Structure 1
Amino acid sequence: MSPSADSPAFESVQMVDLFAGPGGLDVAARWLGVSVVGIEWDPNACRTRAEAGLTTQPGDVRAFGPQGFPSARYLAGGPPCQTFTVAGSGAGRKALDGVVDFIKRLAADEDISADLLELDDERTGLVLEPLRWALEADKLGHPYEVIVLEQVPAVLPVWEAMGRALEGIGYQFTCDILHTEEFGVPQTRRRAILVARRGREPKLPDPTHRRYKSGTARHAGLPGLLEWKSMGDVFPERGPFAVISNYGSGGVSTARGRRTSEQPAFTVTGKVSRNRVITPSGIEMDRFSPSEAGRLQTFPRDYPWAGGDVGQQIGNAIPPRLAAHVLAAALFDGTLDDTSLNAAIASPWSAHRETTPTLVPSRR
């Protein structure tokens, strides 16, 4: 059972993870030896977190604040992205200018609660919660040393506006779009990452692998970078195969995207189980299991997915491998050795249920 906000289990946590989901960032933090509590309101994700032994505060992020976690030095979060994505309702895109204005008003200590109620989709306003937490922590006299936020690429303008607001209370910030395959994730996926720090220059990680480009050989690209990882690297036991996406290509619903096992996966979404998997001769194979979908996201093979809607849990998560690179740079000014990271991902999750570091970042 997860502890409550006044539990001793929260007294020494170093990081609070808002909208923690099934634990993508928390897994990375565990590898790095950072103690973290995740706040999550989805009961399915909370079940997975409980099975994985992750410290969790169930509930709505809006019902909590930094005063409940006084020892936390770091704040992280990945607010819900559905309203900002092409696949979502589009409420976030329509309200983008309004959200940026909300950030300015929140930073000016205005009460915007009534205006938030007028949003087409309440999830759009949740992207403001990390700023509320940061402002409240500053007022309490215990500002976070580092803030790390991630979202879909469409949210980059929001992160830029939030970074400027954080500058008003002593932070420096940087933000950019990171490509997951450039960090060894066997999947093409882009995430908007913000890192803000007090008293020192913020850092984003440098790519460790080459960027995937259709029709380009794995060994092509910038010298000194590792080759991008393919689905076949993750599932050698399957032999050669192809994946036919559930989504249309080029805006044509009947033109399904197709990639072979020699390529990275498409972005893993909540509909990953609908993707067909076939042999080179066209024979249907078993579709990706939850464990396999999780491995494409770089969760350990035995990560204990639980509850309902597991596909959505997996699709919503930040890949732990990317999160590890981001946290190593943001918290420790460090880089991660690829061999050690591969070993952490390959080892049983039971070996990481305690917050003991298995990854030691090297200083840049």
Structure 2
Amino acid sequence: MTSTPHHQRILDRPFVLDLFAGPGGLDVAAHVLGVPSLGIEWDRSACLTRYAAGLDTLHADVSAIRREAFEALPPEINVLAGGPPCQTYSVAGSGVGRKALDQVKGYIERLMAGDPDENIDKELQKLTDPRTALVLEPLRYAIQATRSPNRGNRPYDVIVLEQVPAVEALWDHYALVLENIGLPDGTKYKVKVDVLDTETYGVPQTRSRAVLIARREELGEPFLPKPTHLAYEAKEWNRRSGGATAQTHQPALDEEIAPVPAPRRGEDDAPKPWVSMGKALPGREKPFLVRSNYGSSGNPGRRGVRTDQQPAATVTGRISRFVVFEHLDENIVYEGPRFSMNEAGMLQSFPPDYPWSGTAQAQQVGNAVPPLFGAHLLGAALGLPAPGPEALRKPWVPATEEQRAKLRSHGCGSADDCTASCPRPEDQAPPRSAPRKKKAAAG
């Protein structure tokens, strides 16, 4: 089979269904590509952000929509996308999902073999943390599409998924069964899986993600997005900077640190320098240092202190705790203002004035798919040229009150409030850990 040229549009009218849509990272990506999208999100505050941003939304549980309201989804949806919750797989989370990888692979095979949902659901209830099973939902949606009378039993043309690197093994298993076994109706896909670094696509942040891009085999071989920027290497940076940003307890601002080398002349296609925090946050006029409590993908070499000349460490739900230091004069360093939510969003590549709403906004920012990275993924999946970083620095036009009321009426069932059909906040809390037993005193 011949491969499709990278920038040859493969669908006349792509329409994205964004599972676990959060505050809108993939939807913003679709927007800048000129592609319509519908997001399903169960967190109330994330939905408030989405309504304020003018994004079409269903305030609902992804699993419940699949079981009870799949036929109500627009039949023209032909692209399935999403980033299932990562808490049980992330190195910053409980690790329950990582321990259950082989078990989840077994569920993947059973779903593809047509095992009834009722049987699978009964066993999934036995998992230590039910969120582990959410990584199966994209596959269950892909299968459900082939059984949907409203769609004419038509499968999705394209699937785009992203998660923390620990899920790469599951995406590999997705690829294995999608290519070799196919969905229960016989539909097969061509699939690409890899772990990509967001700073290599212009996001001012080091964040590694396991990604999957699949196309129905009739649509040609898929491809991964080509990096547009250089990778950030902590060891190389520390070598060139003399360790000025190293793990010191007393921060120091060093304006003499050599910048990342620019591409050589004549290399038009050569990757550009990665985007620094200072470039992404032009409103901060003074040089600054950031001390984070988390590194990219748990890589110790990426933890600690960074200057405004480096990309940010992985933006998490704790971004509001990142401490920012500035110079008062040549000799005194003081703690400056911490990142605002708009600044935190810009480090995720959201537009500068994105309308963050509701509570737990830092968590919304940290959980989101970086829109610029998402645009590269969707662009590669659909054969569309991805936008440059400047496309997401333009002002975002928020929804009017009338538009917001209409979106909420569709998403929640009421123009100004949630309804009984919306997920309850108490249902969104992760299960509590069992209390540890106290050790008996020695002797």
Same fold (TM over 0.5): yes
- 1:16-51 per-residue CA deviation (whole Å, 9 max, x = no partner) reads 110000000000101111111100000010110011
Q: Pick from 304, 309, 315 the counterpart of residue 257 of structure 1.
A: 304
CA distance in 1, matches of 2:106, 2:260: 44
Aligned residues with identical type, % of pairs:
52
Letter in 1 for 2:199: E
Residue 134 (str. 1) matches residue 142 (str. 2): yes
The answer for the alignment partner of 1:179 in structure 2 is: 197
Residue 303 (str. 1) matches residue 345 (str. 2): no
The answer for the alignment partner of 2:278 in structure 1 is: 232
CA distance in 1, matches of 2:42, 2:155: 25
Q: Pick from 92, 96, 103 the counterpart of residue 101 of structure 2.
A: 96
The answer for the alignment partner of 1:144 in structure 2 is: 156
Q: Normalization by structure 2: what TM-score?
A: 0.72
The answer for the alignment partner of 1:36 in structure 2 is: 37
Contact 1:248 1:256 in 2 (8 A): yes
- 1:269-323 per-residue CA deviation (whole Å, 9 max, x = no partner) reads 0000101000154211000000000000010111000011000000000100000
Contact 1:211 1:228 in 2 (8 A): yes
The answer for the alignment partner of 2:225 in structure 1 is: 205
Residue 79 (str. 1) matches residue 84 (str. 2): yes
Name the one with the larger strand percent. 1
Mapping of residues 1-364 of structure 1, within 5 Å: 14-65=15-66, 66-69=70-73, 70-110=75-115, 111-140=119-148, 141-167=153-179, 168=182, 169-198=187-216, 199=218, 200-214=220-234, 215-216=236-237, 218-219=260-261, 224-238=270-284, 239-247=286-294, 257-280=304-327, 281-331=332-382, 333-336=383-386, 338=388, 341-342=389-390, 344-350=391-397
Instruction: Tell me by how many angstroms 1:229 deviates.
Output: 0.5
CA distance in 2, matches of 1:102, 1:249: 30
CA distance in 2, matches of 1:252, 1:182: 17
Where structure 2 has 5 or more consecutive residues not aligned to the other structure, the ranges are 1-12, 238-258, 404-443
CA distance in 1, matches of 2:325, 2:304: 13
Contact 2:92 2:298 in 1 (8 A): no
Bigger mean CA offset, 289-298 vs 13-22: 13-22
Larger Rg: 2
Instruction: Tell me by how many angstroms 1:165 deviates.
Output: 2.3
Instruction: Tell me by how many angstroms 1:138 deviates.
Output: 2.2
Q: Which has the higher contact order (CA 8 A, sep 6+)?
A: 2
Structure 1 runs of 4+ with >6 Å offset: 248-253, 351-354
Bigger mean CA offset, 74-83 vs 279-288: 279-288
Bigger mean CA offset, 120-129 vs 243-252: 243-252
Alignment RMSD (CA, Å): 2.5
Instruction: Tell me by how many angstroms 1:115 deviates.
Output: 1.0
Letter in 1 for 2:72: G
CA distance in 2, matches of 1:85, 1:244: 21
CA distance in 2, matches of 1:81, 1:46: 19
For this pair of structures, how many residues does the alignment match? 338
Gap change, CA 1:97 and 1:337, over 3 Å in 2: same
CA distance in 2, matches of 1:23, 1:250: 22
